[in-house]
Structure 1
Amino acid sequence: MASMIRKSLDDPEETRPVADGMGQVELVNLEAGPVGRATFLPGWKWSDHVKPIAKTDSCQASHTGYTISGRIKVVMDDGEELEFGPGDFGVIPPGHDAWVLGDEPYVFIDWQGMADYAKPKE
C-alpha cells in the first residue's frame, strides 16, 4: 500500500532565486517531479530576470498551475496573449514571455514546469 506524503512549500527542499532579487521559486520534490511556488515581484519580467539564467530566447518550460495572488501577462512566441489572476488555473505551453502586472507580487503554484525553471545552466 502506498504511503501518504506531506511536504510544505514553506519549508522547501530547494530555492532558486531569479535575477536582481525579483523573486524566487521554492520547490518540493515528488516521485512524479518537483512542485514549485513561484513568487515574482512587481517589475519582474521573464525576459529580463530568468532569460539570463535559462539562456533561451523565450521560456521553454511548460507550466500547469494555479495563481494564488497577483496578476501576470503571458505572451506566446506566436503573439497569443492571456492574463492570469487569483483563482485562475492555467496551462502555458513552452515558448513564451511573461511579466507581473500591477504592484502586487505574483504567486503561482506549478506542478509541471519547475524541474529546470530558473536553474543555472552548467
Structure 2
Amino acid sequence: MAGLVSKNFDKPDETRPFEDGMGRLDLFNTEGGAVGRAVFEPGWRWSQHIKPLAGTDSCQSAHTGYVVSGRMVIAMDDGEQGEIGPGDFIRIAPGHDAWVVGDEPCIALDWTGYTDYAKPASG
C-alpha cells in the first residue's frame, strides 16, 4: 500500500460519458474502491440519461458524497424528495431518480456509488 496517493481529476483513470452529451463521470480506481467526480449538465435527468445505460427502473447505486457546485433534486422510489446543492454532504440509498435544477452544471464527488455507474448493462 502506498503511503501517499495523489491524483487529479483532469487525468482520470476512466471517463464515462452520459447519454446525449449530458455530462460525464471521471473515475479513479483506488485500493479503497472507486472515487468519482460526476458533471451533470443542465437538463440532465437520471431516468433519461443513465437509465438506458443501467437497465434498471431507478438508480440502484448507494451514494456517499459531496456536492461541489450546482443543484439537483433527488426523488426516492418511496416518494421522499429533496434538493441538494454546493457544500452538501449526501448519502443516498438505492432506488431513486435525480435531475439537475437551474442552468449550472451540478458537480458531485462520490466515494461509494460510482463503481458501476453509467456503465452499460451487460447483455
What TM-score, normalized by structure 1, do the two folds share? 0.97
Q: Which amino acid aligns with 1:59?
A: C
User: How many residues end up aligned between the 2 structures?
Assistant: 122
Counterpart CA distance in 1 for 2:2 and 2:97 is 39
Which secondary structure state, in structure 2, belongs to the residue aligned with residue 27 of structure 1?
Answer: strand
Q: Deviations over 1:62-103 (max 9, x none)?
A: 000000000000000000001100000000000000000000
Query: Are 1:53 and 2:60 counterparts?
Result: no
- d(CA) in 1 for partners of 2:3 and 2:93? 32
Normalization by structure 2: what TM-score? 0.97
2:115 match: 115
What does residue 80 of structure 1 align with?
Answer: 80
Partner of 2:25: 25
Question: What is the rounded CA distance, in whole Å, between the counterparts of 1:51 and 1:121 in structure 2?
Answer: 10
Note the C-alpha offset of 1:7: 1.1
Aligned residues: percent identity?
A: 61
CA RMSD after TM alignment: 1.0
Deviation at residue 8 of structure 1 after TM alignment? 1.3
Q: Which residue of 1 aligns with 2:12?
A: 12
Cα distance in 2 for residues equivalent to 1:107 and 1:5: 22
Aligned to 1:114, the other structure's residue is in SS state coil
